[in-house]
Amino acid sequence: MIGLFIILLLVLFLPFTVKKVEHNLEYFLFIMGILAAVVGGVFDTELLLHALEDPIKITLAVLIAGLLFKWFQNQLGKAIDAISHKIPFSVFAALVVILLGLLSSVITAIIAALVLVLIISNLSLDRKNEIWLTIIGCFSIGLGAALTPIGEPLSTIAVSKMGEGFFYLFDLIGPFVIPGVILLGLLAAFVVKREEGAGNQIAQEEEKYSEIIIRAVKIYLFVFGLTMLGAGFEPLINKYLLDLSPKILYWINTFSAVLDNATLAAAEISPAMSDSTVEAILMGLLISGGMLIPGNIPNIISAGKLKITSKEWAKVGLPLGFTLLLACFIILLVTGI
């Protein structure tokens, strides 16, 4: 138990405090996952085969979607520019947020974030509206991608740990996620404005094939490490988390604002938990993950490419995130969390 606690502390705080670990998170979690499985006494052939198999679907999805994005990026950019001038911009902003949020569960959160950046780069928005559309879009992508196990690492890990089928998360959290994505789209329509001539278009560099392949490999290692991590932490989960109220777990997961939410999912979710507990854990993780840049992969990609600072993100992400958290918590209470 002491060894697992030490590994847990390292996993939670090193990525947040050490830049080299933050920039090489996939390799770090790959090592920590194997270490946790060994220390937890669960490392065996069955777990190894399970960890080797879990990342395959999301890795292939990221690779294929990345190649398609590279091949059709220019055509997509031109289509975006044309469509954005043919319909009212408020409608366009809403459609971007809603469609990317829902499609992210199929094209993956990473590709959805790259498409979001491409769209924003072709809109010539001023800084304020660019930031608002980016953050609202990332909240939507972070929520929507969790509907299937190929959408993002968090959903891959959740489905794997619960031993459920492809549509498990769609059935479990879909009634929260889909209205949430639509609500975020309506918010974008209301707050994001475009004034002709405002801002500058951002030049988009075309990704190299090597970058696409490396990203897919990193996703594979990331999910492999999280699978091992989740299995290794089972003794901790069974002893300290199973008896905690879902209400407490929901608010504990506001840590997801500064820590990758897939890592927390691996450390918290257990097949011994009820669906309502898993539902509360996931919604807390998914919403909190949009509040600050480190919380989710789409935030990191979008902020990096659009050069959004942590302070700029926090000014919008924190109040928006806490509002969504409170609203979701009230709904969970009413529905019998």
Nearest CA to 260 out of 315, 210, 299 is that of 299
User: CA-CA distance, 231 to 270, in Å (whole number)?
Assistant: 9
- Domain assignments of the chain as residue spans, ordered by start: 2-334
CA distance 28 to 75: 37
Residue pLDDT, tens place only, 64-84: 988 988 888 888 878 887 887
pLDDT value of position 213: 93
Q: How confident is the model at residue 197 (pLDDT cuts 50, 70, 90)?
A: low
Average pLDDT, whole number, for the chain?
Answer: 87
Of residues 182 and 51, the one with the higher pLDDT is 182
* DSSP label of 205: P
Which pTM does this prediction carry? Answer: 0.84
Q: pLDDT of 243-298, one tens digit each?
A: 778 888 889 888 777 677 787 888 788 888 888 889 999 999 999 989 988 788 89
